[in-house]
Amino acid sequence: MPIHDQGYRRYGGDKAPRGQAWLVIARNGIRHMLGKRAFLGLLLLSWFPFFVRAVQIYAAANIPQAQFLAPTPETFRQFLDQQQIFVFFVTVYVGAGLIANDRRANALQIYLSKPLTRSEYVFGKLAILMMFLVIVTWVPAIVLLIVQMAFAGNFTFLRNNIFLFPAITLFAFVQVALVATAMLALSSLSNSSRYVGILYSAVIFFTQAIYGVLFAVTRSTSFSWISFPANLSQVGDVIFRLPPKYETPWLVSLLVIAGVIAASGLVLERRVRGVEIVA
């Protein structure tokens, strides 16, 4: 009777090159989210404004009486503004549990004992949230631009507004980077995704409320730098070559955004560890 080797054989197959472990984290997270019907519904709903705008562009291109609906660069800015509500919901739905759930499950110590660096882990988690945020911001805005060219049958609008493509890309990047890093940092602070969601909502609405109170008292918009959404709006206006809504210099708003991203990075650096250090 032949005796088979019951011991372990060394793995002889291919291994992904170093530095790609973040892809595993990202793929798992994306697959997990796409398996949720409620989330797919939210994603579908987030494209509703796109269809409304597409009808508007179609009408402007094909019905002479609807010329007043013709898109301008501001149309794209407004579209991205409208998408902010979906950015908020997607951020809370996807982002709140990204690290919090791993912390609750004690999974970090196992993950980080594998060939996965802390930065790869954070990058993988960021990629999950950023991908879905790009799907509700940059992708529909760019498709809208393509739709405009398709319905108009020429490149005139794009030629006259050649800055639109980089403007949409830059604004979407700033928005997604700010929101994703801030949410990820908050997610690393707690073991409860519910608490993180509430905390994120509080940050958004509380900063806006404080600015609202200061505006009511001073009748000046120079305190808009306090508000999370106002800073984004101020920078967005500059990117889209529109007059800024607030008195705060756009550079200050940009610095606040950069500061929030940097602070989020610091929080992540301290909180994403395999071993919790209480000192």
Partner 1 sequence: MSATNGSDPRSPIVVADHLSKWYGQVIGLNDVSVSVPPGITGLLGPNGAGKSTFMKVITGQLKPSKGTITVLGETIWNNPSLYFRIGFCPEQDSFYERMTGLEWVTALVRLNGLSDADAAEMARRALEAVELTDAANKKIGAYSKGMRQRVKMAQALAHEPHLLILDEPLSGMDPIARRKTIRMVKDWARAGKSIIVSSHILHEIESMTSNILLINQGRILAEGNVHQIRDLIDEHPHTVYIRADQTRALARAFLAQDDVLSLRFEDEAIVVQTGRPDAFYSRLTDLAASGELGAIHEVTSPDDNLQAVFKYLVKS
Is 214 a binder of partner 1 (CB under 8 A)?
no
Stretch that binds partner 1, among 82-90, 183-191, 259-267, 269-277 (CB under 8 A): 269-277
Nearest residue to 203 via CA among 177, 227, 235: 227
Task: Report residue 4: phi and psi, to 5°.
Answer: -90, 150
Query: Hey, which residues between 92 and 121 contact partner 1 (CB under 8 A)?
Result: 101, 105-107, 109-117
CB closer to partner 1 out of 112 and 252: 112
201's CB contacts (< 8 A; 6+ apart) are 88, 92
Nearer to partner 1 by Cβ, of 57 and 196: the residue is 196
Which range binds partner 1 by CB under 8 A, 11-19, 80-88, 186-194, 258-266?
Answer: 11-19
Q: What residues have CB less than 8 Å from 115, skipping those under 6 apart?
A: 18, 21
Binder among 1, 3, 11, 44 for partner 1 (CB under 8 A): 11
251 φ/ψ angles, rounded to the nearest 5 degrees:
-65, -35
Nearest one of 183, 143, 168 to 78, comparing CA atoms: 168
Q: What is the CA radius of gyration of the chain?
A: 23
Is residue 159 involved in binding partner 1 (CB under 8 A)? no
Position 278 contacts partner 1 (CB under 8 A): yes
Does position 16 interact with partner 1 (CB under 8 A)? The reply is yes
To partner 1, the closest distance from the beta carbon of 214 in angstroms equals: 40
User: At closest approach, how far in Å is the CB of 106 from partner 1?
Assistant: 4
Q: Does 21 contact partner 1 by CB under 8 A?
A: yes
Of 120 and 237, nearer to partner 1 (C-beta) is: 120
Instruction: By CB under 8 A, name the one of 2, 3, 4, 14 that touches partner 1.
Output: 14
Contacting partner 1 (CB under 8 A), which of 1, 3, 4, 8?
8
The interface region with partner 1, picked from 13-21, 136-144, 237-245, 249-257 by CB under 8 A, is 13-21
Stretch that binds partner 1, among 59-67, 135-143, 191-199, 268-276 (CB under 8 A): 268-276
- CA–CA distance, 109 with 189 (Å, rounded to integer): 16
Cα 52 from Cα 18, distance rounded (Å): 45
Contact residues for partner 1 (CB under 8 A)?
A: 7-11, 13-18, 20-21, 24-25, 28, 101, 105-107, 109-117, 273-275, 277-279
